A and B are shown apart, each in its own frame.
Chain A
Amino acid sequence: MDAAAGAAAPNYLRAGKGLASWLTTTDHKRIGILYLIAILVFFLFAVCLGLMIRLELFSPGEQFVGNQGYNRILTLHGITMIFLFIIPSVPAVFGNFFLPIQIGANDVSFPRLNLASWYFYIGGGLFALGSVILGGVDTGWTFYIPYSADTADNVYLPILAAFILGWSSILTGLNFIVTVHRLRVPSMPWFRMPLFVWALYATSWIQILATPVVGITLLLILLERFLGIGIFDPAKEGDPVLYQHLFWIYSHPAVYIMVLPAMGIVSEIVPVFCRKTIFGYKFIAISSLAIAGIGSLVWGHHMFTSGMADLERIVFSLLTFLVAIPSGVKVFNWLATMYKGSIRLATPFLYALAFIFLFSVGGFTGLLQGALSTDIHIHDTSFIVAHFHYTMFGGGGVMFFGALHYWFPKMFGRTYCESVARWAFALFFVGFNCLYFPLFLAGLAGMPRRYADYLPEYLVYHRISSIGSWILVAGIVLMLANLLRALFKGERAGRDPWGGATLEWTVPSPPPTHQFAAPPVVTRGPYEYARERASG
């Protein structure tokens, strides 16, 4: 690429002026920024709901939202965090922004479709918010039948929201798969792709293969409510457990939609901050596909207590244990990459370390639920709540912020205050564990999930947890304030502040609209630092 020409062209942020130029853009980088803004807004909204949950649980008895209000807040917190934050977060923001750059392309294969997915996303988000105005929904984010067909609350809006958001997710996945196949520069064979691209590729396949199933299943709930077709209604000999199967056929693979891209980012950050080629590149790349494959066959472990044949339960339990293997492969490869590396403890690396720790805690406690006997004991307790917050928030969520710190200089051309970022990280990490770890203990002691009230013996767990939620939120606020300040007052970032070797670090920060005047020629692997020159 011609560096001089690249520097002369206006960067993508300044390529067009005014709101209209943003809302009609087909530039993958701008669409990434549009997603970033929308996703952060929904995230902060859902954080407020989470805080309300913790406030209600600060003391036993009804505090200020009451039982019904608690159910509705809980449902909305789940729907917003899952469908509007974690599932789209990394692919839609950082995937859109960096996938084309990392494979040497100027955009995705279908730029207009890409913008359409953003509008689908916003439409789905408005439907979800609309359900708040209409009084909220008390079904939980899983919309379990028969209650979701019977409740007096308006479940049409959130279900339509989930359906529309599903199509947004499908179209993004479709776009990424075609982009990886068609727009990868010829000098980048499959096994020279950055691991983030591998992770997004695997994720995209899950999005395409799993989402339509939940889409039609949710529509069946609407038909059940609206017309009474009887497919899931036990009064008409329909089978509610069949609903659970269809729901989890999507929704379990969906947890890998949440965590695979995060693993891809860890695989980017670890070698850069250890100045070492990633250990076991091929194993990490293929383990992403293995997780996508095996992860599609384990949904039954959500239903061990719902009524299944013993053989089914044993098979699902076995597959659940198997899916831990590719995740373990990744963790050991990251650790081996750090071994004898020249480690620089910058903020993005701290988030990657936090991911490895938190996700391992979440993963190991997941095995307790994959085991049939222990699952009977901890099913539907706050142990489950702690587990999935460790895997999803501790996995997908943490690396969303890790990626934000890692790529912030590239996206906005500015650097943030490192020491404030570290303090924010410390608050985040301490608050996180303080908030969720007590829930493991409470769950083991028998605290059921989804209850607004509890017996006095669980007081100590809930107190610590609620205090942790305040520390966590303080960390998030400090982190975002630091980044917001950097956006306007940060120092100018160079082309390659971290010394990364993937293609995004070869273009200016922020990149021009057409980042590559000509297709770059890749002559080395994405993590080969041996031939690097000193750079500023």
Chain B
Amino acid sequence: MADGGTTSTDLHGAAGAAHAGGYDPMAAKMGMWLFLFTEVLLFGALFIVYGVYLHGFTWQFQQGSARLSIPVGAVNTAILLTSSLTMALAIAALQRARPARARRLLFATVGCAGAFLVIKAFEWAGKFAHGVYPGAAFLLEQSKGEIVFFGLYFTMTGLHALHVLVGVPVILWAGRRIRSGAISPEHSVFLENAGLYWHLVDLIWIYLFPLFYLIS
């Protein structure tokens, strides 16, 4: 060394493997958690806006909420919770070295995601048919707080649906990688990260459901 401050030696163990640029599931998981922080903050700003306006327009928000169908929302909540369960079971199945079962469970998860989106689409279409969408003449005649309520409803459930939509190819990709052997019980961090993402999407919906459907 030029200035004698450091010497070299060979290192073994986890840190050494990470240093060599090898497989470091800990790093991948840490990165995923940080990404989920950013997602929480992305939605967090919207939740703050919701809180501010709920405080200002409590009565109008309740009126807006009465226009939403609780059974439809409840069914969708049940579907997403089920999909989180199948996701968790898929990871457990992979860890028990049962890749075929893991893949079936992943397809079940994707099926739930599809069902959620279809129900959501019919729900939105129903709202549109009744003239409840941003800028609609019918909505503009309602109380001011209701306009904001539905502005937030479409923004937040829309952004959430977008996250569900992004999750589908990710989960399908994980299924493909299980079949090709790229994801194995020893190298499962991709699947685990997909699971973390999916649970967050589920968790956000668990807050959206009561905030929009159950306040009437």
Residues of A that sit less than 8 Å from B by CB:
1-3, 104-107, 109-110, 113, 170, 174-175, 177-178, 181-183, 185-186, 208-209, 211-213, 215-217, 220, 223, 227-231, 236-239, 242, 246, 249, 494-496, 499, 501, 503, 505-506, 516-524, 531-533, 535
Q: Which chain A residue shows the least CB distance to B24?
A: A182
By a CB distance below 8 angstroms, the chain A residues around B8 are 1-2, 517-521
* CB of B71 within 8 Å of the partner chain: no
Residues of B within 8 A of A217 (CB): 45
Closest 8 CB pairs of A and B: A237-B144, A229-B151, A212-B41, A212-B42, A227-B134, A182-B27, A228-B135, A520-B6
Among listed B11-19, B107-115, B120-128, B185-193, interface-contacting one? B11-19
- On whether the beta carbons of A178 and B45 are closer than 8 Å, the reply is no
* Contact (Cβ within 8 A) B38 A1: no
Judge if B1 is at the interface, Cβ distance under 8 Å.
Answer: yes
Given A109-B31, A208-B34, A228-B135, A242–B52 Cβ distance below 8 Å?
yes
Q: Which residue of B lies closest to A1 (CB)?
A: B8
Contact yes or no, A174 B31, CB < 8 A: yes
Interface pair B134/A182, CB less than 8 Å apart: no
If A106-B21, A178-B30, A519-B19 touch, does A230 touch B148 (CB 8 Å cutoff)? Answer: yes
Assembly CA distance A113 to B30 (angstroms): 14
Which residue of the partner chain, among A212, A236, A499, contacts B39 with CB atoms under 8 Å?
A: A212
Residues of B close to A223: CB separation below 8 A: 134, 151, 155
Contacts of B15 in A (CB 8 A): 185-186, 519
14 other contacts beyond A216-B42, A519-B16, with CB at 8 A cut-off?
A: A1-B1, A1-B8, A109-B24, A177-B34, A182-B18, A209-B41, A228-B134, A236-B144, A501-B3, A517-B8, A519-B15, A524-B5, A531-B5, A535-B2
Q: Given the complex of chains A and B, what is the CA–CA distance between A279 and B99 in angstroms? A: 57
Interface residues of B in 25-81 (CB under 8 A from A): 26-27, 30-31, 34-35, 37-39, 41-46, 48-49, 52-53, 57
Shortest Cβ distance from residue B208 to the other chain A in the assembled complex, whole angstroms: 15
**Complex: A242 Cα to B39 Cα, angstroms:** 21
A212 and B38 form a contact (CB under 8 A)? yes
Q: Which residues of A contact B38 (CB under 8 A)?
A: 170, 174, 208, 211-212
Q: Footprint of A on B, CB under 8 Å?
A: 1-11, 15-16, 18-21, 24, 26-27, 30-31, 34-35, 37-39, 41-46, 48-49, 52-53, 57, 134-135, 140, 144-145, 147-148, 151-152, 154-155, 159
What residues on A are CB-neighbors of B52 within 8 Å? 239, 242
Instruction: Give 28 A-B contacts (CB < 8 Å), ordered by A residue.
Output: A106-B20, A106-B21, A110-B27, A110-B31, A175-B31, A182-B30, A183-B18, A185-B15, A185-B19, A212-B38, A212-B42, A213-B42, A213-B45, A215-B42, A216-B45, A217-B45, A223-B151, A227-B135, A229-B154, A231-B151, A237-B145, A238-B148, A238-B151, A239-B52, A239-B53, A246-B49, A521-B9, A531-B4
Q: Which A residue sits closest to B37, measured CB to CB?
A: A208
On whether the beta carbons of A178 and B27 are closer than 8 Å, the reply is yes
Residues of A within 8 A of B4 (CB): 531-533
Within 8 Å by CB of B45, from A186, A212, A535, lies: A212
Interfacial chain B residues near A499, Cβ < 8 Å: 3
Among A2, A105, A107, A216: residue with most chain B CB under 10 A: A216
Residues of B with C-beta under 8 A to A110: 27, 31
A518 vs B2: C-alpha distance in the bound complex, in angstroms? Answer: 16
How close is A299's CB to chain B, nearest CB, in angstroms? Answer: 13
Beta-carbon contact of B31 and A521 below 8 Å: no
Q: Name the A residues within 8 Å of B7 (CB-CB).
A: 520-521, 523
CA distance A520 to B1 in the complex (A): 10
Residues of chain B lying within 8 A (CB to CB) of residue A503: 6
The answer to whether A533 and B3 have CB atoms under 8 Å apart is yes
Q: Which of A208, A246, A518, A523 contacts B5 (CB 8 A)?
A: A523
Contact in complex: B19, A213 (CB < 8 Å): no
For A522, the chain B residues whose CB sits under 8 A away are 5-6
Given contacts A228-B135, A506-B5, A531-B4, contact A213 B44 (CB under 8 A): yes
Cβ of A85 to closest chain B Cβ, rounded Å? 23
Choose from A181, A216, A242 the contact partner of B30 (Cβ within 8 Å): A181
Q: For A186, list chain B residues within 8 Å (CB).
A: 11, 15
Check if B30 sits within 8 Å of A229, measured CB to CB: no
- A208 proximity list for chain B (CB < 8 A): 34, 37-38
Q: Which residues of A contact B39 (CB under 8 A)?
A: 212
Q: Closest approach, in angstroms, between the C-beta of B77 and any C-beta of chain A?
A: 23
Closest to B40 in A: A212
The closest CB in chain A to the CB of B31 belongs to A178
Known: A231-B155, A519-B11, A532-B4. A246 touches B45 (CB 8 A): yes
> B6 to A523, Cβ gap below 8 A?
yes
Contact, CB under 8 Å: B5 / A178: no
Smallest beta-carbon distance B174→chain A, Å: 18
Q: Nearest-CB distance from A257 to chain B (Å)?
A: 15
Task: Assess whether B147 is in contact with A216, with CB atoms less than 8 Å apart.
Answer: no
Nearest CB in chain A to that of B135: its residue: A228
Residues of B within 8 A of A496 (CB): 2-3
A517 to B21, CA, bound (A): 12
B68 to chain A, nearest CB (A): 17
A229 to B49 CA separation, bound complex (whole angstroms): 13
Closest to A495 in B: B2
**Chain A residue at smallest Cβ distance from B1:** A506
Chain B residues contacting A170 (CB-CB under 8 Å) are: 38
When C-beta atoms are compared, the residue in chain A nearest to B144 turns out to be: A237
Cα A234 to Cα B97 in complex, Å, equals 58
Complex Cα spacing A214 to B140, Å: 28
- In the complex, how many angstroms separate the beta carbon of A159 from the nearest chain B beta carbon? 15
Cβ contacts under 8 Å, A113 to chain B: 31
Q: Is the CB of A229 within 8 A of B27?
A: no
Query: Complex Cα distance A224/B5, Å?
Result: 58
Chain A residue with the shortest CB-CB distance to B57: A237
Give complex CA distance A1, B67 in Å.
Answer: 69
Q: How far is the CA of A222 from the CA of B81 in the complex (A)?
A: 32
Q: Answer whether A236 and B148 are a contact pair too, CB < 8 Å, given A3-B1, A506-B6.
A: yes
